[in-house]
Amino acid sequence: MSRVLTYARLMCFLLFSYLSIGLWAQNQDLGPLVTVVAEHTEYLDVDEIHFTINLSEHDLDIADARAKTTRISQEIKALLKRSGVDDRFIQTRRAVVSRNYLRRSQSREYDGFVSTQSIYVCLKAVGSYDDLMDALLLMNVESISTPSYKSSQEEAARQRARVAALKKAQKMASEWTEALDQSIGPAKQISQADYQRSHLAYGERSVDSGVAAESISLGEISVKASVKVSFALLD
């Protein structure tokens, strides 16, 4: 067994050494490089609001507990449809029934059943969000999750941000090398410098073409792309 382990370790070492030498040789073949990091941010209006409605009904009878949840769930789905939410943007999970025990009891005193259910909603008519929340809060719901603000155009904006970041990297590298009376050749290495999730932007943002700032609407989504690019350095 010890010989087998020793042989396996030797093979792993040789493989690692081979890969390391290969990567070192590959980097040497790239020649002199100028490496820059650039980023670009796109801004989008919110056109989707995602949230989850949580239901919890208690009863001493298991069937009645489940029936209560079914009734309030149907009432909520009816309200959502009246608010313009399409069926495909309402995802209802199966109700779960469990035994309930008094929290104040040290001996786990039995207290009937609790039926819980959640309803996931994607609201496209974002302007009706406040009115819909008011109506839901007046119903018998356990809780409503913190809303998640999104845009259906995020992926397209992310691609535009990547392309713009690459162009900025090329311009930056050209400016650096021109100051040294040199120039850049083709890109040799390109990688994502940092992954940025989409998030809400608040306050003010700088305009790409200048120093001045322009105000943006509350809740505008920012999509950022950051790239690291290495260009061939020419004399």
pLDDT at 9: 58
Residues with Cβ within 8 Å of 107's Cβ and at least 6 positions away in sequence, in order, are: none
Going by their DSSP bridges, the two strands 199-201 and 33-44 should be labelled as unpaired
Domain boundaries, the chain: 31-45+153-234, 48-150
Which option is the CATH number for 48-150: 3.30.930.10, 3.30.70.270, 3.40.50.740, 3.30.70.2970?
A: 3.30.70.2970
Superfamily of domain 31-45+153-234, CATH level 4: Protein of unknown function (DUF541), domain 1 (3.30.110.170)
pLDDT < 50 positions in the chain: 4-5, 13-26, 203-218
Asked whether the whole model's pTM tops 0.85, one would answer no
pLDDT 10s digits, 205-230:
444 433 333 333 446 889 999 999 99
pLDDT at 209: 35
CB 198 within 8 A of CB 222: yes
**Which run of H or E residues covers position 187?**
strand 183-195
